[in-house]
Amino acid sequence: MESLVIIVFVLGYLAITLEHNLKIDKLIPALAMMAMCWAIIALEHLEVFEVDAVKHMLIPTHLEEILLHHLGKTAEILIFLIGAMTIVEIIDYFNGFVTIKGFVRTKSKVRLLWIFSFLAFILSAIIDNLTATIVLLTILRKIIKSKEDRLWFAGLIVIAANAGGAWSPIGDVTTTMLWIGKKVTTGHLIKYLFLPSLVCMVIPSLIASRMKPFQGNIADVEEEEEEKGSKYSSVMLYLGLGAIIFVPIFKTVTHLPPYVGMMLSLSIVAIFAEIYSNRLITLTTVHGKDEGDHSAAHSPIHKSLAGIEMPSILFFLGILMAVAALESLGTLFHFAESLNETIPMLGTEPEIEGYAVSDLVVMILGVGSAVIDNVPLVAASIGMFSDPTDSPLWHFIAFAAGTGGSMLIIGSAAGVVAMGMEKINFFWYLKKVSWLAFVGFLAGSAAFMVLRMMF
């Protein structure tokens, strides 16, 4: 009956991949396959295991224990994401991101390219690549009116945002999963991936800066009334970004799970948000029904919580718990072993008790993340490999999964949102931008391998 679980997972995965063709939101098949996989395990009384990372073996356990174990790991990620999303929404409530537009003071296309590339690279490392892409494309619309020009800039922003998200524990969902799953630590992640990620962003931008679409100046357009933030816009922007950056520091000092630090950061930002908006300080209750309705309509906290992407949260819940079902059956463990025996060791991680993972495997995973969602790919790799914390394998997986998605417009959350905002054609991106992303991916991978030999 294990094969039935695999069939359900494959069909659900296929439905997620064909989301746009089926016209069904991907969270629906994700939740369905999660429930069905665990139901089959329970009804058929299939044996479940947990992976002993030290001995590299499977240990039998009870269904209730392993289910609660995986739910706890998944909940850590989801609560962390909810906190981060809410802080970003609070910043947006005060129009804090308008402040960033003040950094753009040039008409040169090449200079604009580098400004937006570095802004995407840095901003995505703090507020995640998806949000950074939304913010920068919104700003881009106010600066460049030519649709054709914006398409090119949007493509390079996607590459830069995905590269920036790879080296930060809070920059990409997959990197966050590895961080919360204790596969990587903040210091080593930055040490190993900052330079390769920078190379992955700089090389495509350098090549693009010499291409015709980025030559000359942007056309002068009639100035529109500029969107203005409140007098607290800058304060809330820096406070919010600082609060998110504080989370890895809090984890390093206290050794508590990241979601605890994120909740502390959210509470601090929320206090200032309530004070600045002259609202009653409350997160969950208000006194009196009428007052409650009024507060719910105007409180920055209520509005920000209502603005977070619950469909994404539910999708992550479904996909992570579905992958956990395969991990509990030992399927991923055995697949990893057969994969390493089949694929030649062109370049390998340092052996750990006779167990090594080919760089080619990780690069294939990176290319695969451009075709299918990188969240389940990374979730599967966590279940497949048992290398210790801060093994170079996990850093390479973080880089490959984070930057590989740039090779197709549908290969990353940043690409999908750019596709929607700017109506980017799949085949236009494939022809014009994909090769730049591929070159950046290869250059960054090479930089990582060189850096790995040095440390």
Strand ranges (DSSP E) for 266-416? none
Q: Considering only CA atoms, which of 230, 308, 314 is closest in space to residue 272?
A: 230
Task: State the Cα–Cα distance between residues 155 and 439, nearest whole angstrom.
Answer: 14
Whether the pLDDT of residue 215 is over 90: the answer is no
- For residue 189, what are its two tokens? 């992640």
pLDDT in tens, 129-187: 888 888 888 888 878 888 888 899 999 999 999 999 999 998 888 898 899 888 999 89
Residue range 367-410, pLDDT digits in tens: 888 876 677 778 778 877 777 888 888 999 999 989 998 998 87
Identify the pLDDT of residue 300: 78
Phi, psi of 332 (to 5 degrees): -65, -35
Domain boundaries defined on the chain: 1-46, 47-454
List, in order, residues 6 or more apart from 210 with CB less than 8 Å away.
Answer: none
* pLDDT tens-digit series, residues 225-258: 455 556 788 888 899 889 988 988 898 889 888 8
Q: Is 57 helix (H, G, I), strand (E, B) or coil?
A: strand
CA distance 246 to 226: 32
Over range 280-286, report the average pLDDT.
Answer: 45
pLDDT of the residue at 328: 86
Neighbour tally for 27: CB within 10 Å: 20
Q: What is the mean pLDDT of the chain?
A: 82
Q: Which of 418, 356, 381 is nearest to 155 (CA)?
A: 418
Written as six digits, the tokens of 106 are 């040039």
pLDDT over 80 at 318, yes or no: yes
Does an H or E element contain 48, and which?
strand 48-52
Q: Give me the pLDDT at residue 92, please.
A: 83
Number of residues that this document lists for the chain: 455
Q: Residue 179 is encoded by which pair of tokens?
A: 């961080």
| Cα 115 from Cα 102, distance rounded (Å) | 12
Angle between helices 173-180 and 186-208 (to 10 degrees): 160
Residue 415 pLDDT: 83
The rounded distance, in Å, linking the Cα atoms of 14 and 31 is 14
Tokens 């460049």 correspond to what residue? Answer: 144
pLDDT the model gives residue 152:
93
Secondary structure string (H, E, C) spanning 140-184: HHHHCCCHHHHHHHHHHHHHHHHHHHHCCCCCCHHHHHHHHCCCC
What pLDDT, on the 0 to 100 scale, is given for residue 354? 36
The angle formed by the CA atoms of residues 274, 277 and 278, to the nearest 5 degrees, is 85
- What is the per-residue pLDDT for 55? 57
